[in-house]
């Protein structure tokens, strides 16, 4: 039997197929594609000059390495499965580096503690220097995935940013070591510094505005509203991806999501905003998360990590509560059963 479609139906069918194809392509964005996209504007530019401190207290002055050695920085996390799979390759690269290549492990500092990192080092037999990022390196290199490889030539310029431990990485390491050494200024004027405007309990909310997925603007500080504000820091993959490597965190993400959704329905006097980490997350993926869990509160994607750093948030889930004057009164990591009581205390004050 032969089916026939009228022209309008055919156009609608083709449009639907194209939309489905585009959506699938977005959802299947690979780690390599994410890393390359984030690093595209950085390749060829001077690398930041920072003095790093390892978990053993050793100082590493990147500015003094540039011009003499190639530098290989790898961002990773203990909960990251591909990071674990690549660790043997990473350790081998360190052991065979030679005098013209510095290899440094940069823990992303996201949902990891120094104890987690030390336990991981012992379990996997890591001998290279390990630094836990305070946010400056992640900012400087547009960290979007883990692992993320950053290769810097002996001329002090960024030559490669990627995700996979493959021939592209190997070629970049060879090319970086073959770059002729040059005289590089040790001036640290271009180094990103720790943000002095970070906000903690007792501080006032910053006067900034963010765009939500609904295309609306949310003012973090809104004195005219005279209402408490709740900022919920989260990751769309926390409940699922971390179920095996960090089950406690995954469970906390699940419990906090349900707790916040319930409280938001009861406490309409509170201004709610979910802030999603930009690591391993796009707006399309965040939208899918909202649809899956029927999330009602406004959601914004913190692509650069600026909002997370501004509030010193390095773990998900984390909930910040501010009173009607914009003063931060609660910074709760993980699931806090006392959150409803905290909101009531804010209301009374």
Q: What is the pLDDT of residue 3?
A: 42
Phi, psi (rounded to 5 degrees) for 260: -65, -45
CB contact at 8 A, 87 and 125: no
Rg (CA), the chain: 23
Mean pLDDT along residues 47-53? 96
Tell me what pLDDT residue 5 has.
Answer: 47
pLDDT of residue 194: 46
What does pLDDT average to over the chain?
89
Position 349 confidence tier, pLDDT thresholds 50, 70, 90? low
143-197 confidence digits (pLDDT tens): 999 999 999 999 999 999 999 999 999 999 999 999 887 777 655 544 444 454 6
Which letter does DSSP use for residue 223 in this model?
G
Beta bridge partners of 301: 276
- As beta bridge partners, residue 157 has 46
Please give the CATH topology (third level) of the domain spanning 31-178: Glutaredoxin (3.40.30)
Q: Does the structure show a pLDDT above 90 at 125?
A: yes
| Rounded-to-integer distance, Cα 80 and Cα 146, Å | 7
Q: pLDDT by residue (tens digit) across 1-20? A: 444 445 444 444 444 444 44
Q: CA separation (Å) from 140 to 39, 48, 53, 316, 339?
A: 10, 7, 17, 22, 35
For residues 265 and 296, is the Cβ–Cβ distance under 8 A? yes
d(CA 271, CA 266): 12
pLDDT at 16: 45
Please state the φ and ψ torsions of residue 116, each to the nearest 5 degrees: -60, -45
Q: C-alpha distances in angstroms, 241 versus 194, 226, 265?
A: 30, 38, 28
Q: What is the pLDDT of residue 15?
A: 44
Q: Where residue 28 falls among pLDDT bands split at 50, 70, 90? A: low
Say yes or no to pLDDT of 286 above 70.
yes
Spatial distance between the Cα atoms of 312 and 136, rounded to a whole number of angstroms: 12
Strand-strand pairing, 158-162 and 148-152: antiparallel
Of 3.40.30.10, 3.40.1160.10, 3.10.310.30, 3.30.70.270, the CATH number of 209-348 is 3.40.30.10
Start-to-end CA distance of the chain, whole Å, equals: 74
- SS3 of 43-81: the string is CCCECCCCEEEECCCCEEEHHHHCCCCEEEEEEECCCCH
- Packed helices 81-95 and 114-124: angle between N→C axes, nearest 10 degrees: 60
Q: Per residue in 67-117, pLDDT tens?
A: 999 999 999 999 999 999 999 999 999 999 999 999 999 999 999 999 999
Give the confidence band of 29 by pLDDT, cuts at 50, 70, 90: confident
Bridge partners, residue 149, by sequence:
74, 162
DSSP-assigned letter for residue 321: E
Determine which helix (DSSP H) or strand (DSSP E) holds 107, and give its type and residue range: strand 101-107
pLDDT in tens, 197-209: 689 999 999 999 9
Rounded (10°) CA dihedral 44, 68, 133, 84: 90
Whether the link from the prior residue into 186 is cis, omega within 30° of 0, is no
Per-domain residue ranges of the chain: 31-178, 209-348
pLDDT digits (tens, 9 = 90+) for 250-276: 999 999 999 999 999 999 999 999 999
Name residue, tokens 């950053």.
Answer: 150
The whole-number average pLDDT for the span 133-152 is 95
| Residue 7: per-residue pLDDT | 46
Mean pLDDT, rounded, for 231-247: 96
pLDDT (0 to 100) of residue 6: 52
Please check whether residue 106 is in contact with residue 128, taking contact to mean a CB–CB distance below 8 angstroms.
Answer: no
Q: Is the peptide bond before 147 cis (omega within 30 degrees of 0)?
A: yes
Q: How many other CB atoms sit within 10 Å of the CB of residue 292? A: 11
């Amino acid at each position: 039997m032969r089916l026939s479609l009228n022209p309008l139906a055919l156009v609608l069918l083709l449009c639907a197929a194209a939309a489905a194809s585009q959506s699938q392509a977005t959802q299947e964005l690979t780690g390599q594609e994410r890393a390359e996209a984030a690093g595209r504007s950085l390749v060829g530019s001077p690398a930041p000059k920072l003095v790093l401190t390892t978990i053993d207290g050793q100082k590493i002055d990147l500015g003094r390495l540039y011009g003499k050695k190639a530098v290989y920085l790898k961002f990773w996390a203990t909960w990251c499965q591909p990071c674990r799979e690549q660790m043997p390759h990473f350790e081998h690269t360190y052991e065979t580096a030679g005098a013209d290549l510095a290899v440094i492990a940069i823990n992303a500092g996201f949902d990891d503690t120094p104890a987690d990192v030390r336990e991981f080092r012992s379990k996997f037999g890591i001998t290279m220097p390990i630094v836990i990022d305070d946010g400056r390196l992640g900012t400087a290199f547009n960290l979007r995935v883990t692992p993320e490889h950053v290769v810097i030539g002996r001329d002090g310029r960024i030559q490669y940013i990627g995700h996979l431990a493959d021939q592209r990485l190997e070629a970049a390491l060879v090319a970086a070591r073959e770059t002729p050494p040059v005289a590089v200024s040790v001036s640290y004027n271009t180094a990103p510094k720790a943000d002095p405007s970070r906000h903690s309990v007792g501080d006032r909310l910053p006067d900034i505005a963010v765009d939500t997925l609904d295309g609306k603007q949310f003012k973090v500080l809104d004195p005219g509203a005279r209402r408490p504000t709740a900022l919920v820091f989260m990751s769309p993959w926390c409940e699922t991806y971390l179920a095996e490597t960090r089950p406690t965190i995954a469970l906390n993400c699940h419990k906090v999501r349900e707790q916040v959704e319930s409280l938001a329905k009861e406490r309409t006097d509170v201004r709610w905003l979910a802030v999603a980490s930009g690591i391993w997350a796009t707006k399309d993926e965040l939208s899918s998360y909202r649809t899956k869990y029927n999330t009602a509160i406004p959601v914004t994607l913190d692509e650069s990590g600026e909002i997370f750093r501004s509030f010193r948030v390095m773990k998900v889930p984390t909930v910040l509560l501010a009173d009607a004057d914009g003063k931060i009164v609660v910074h709760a990591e993980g699931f806090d059963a006392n959150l409803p009581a905290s909101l009531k205390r804010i209301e009374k004050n």
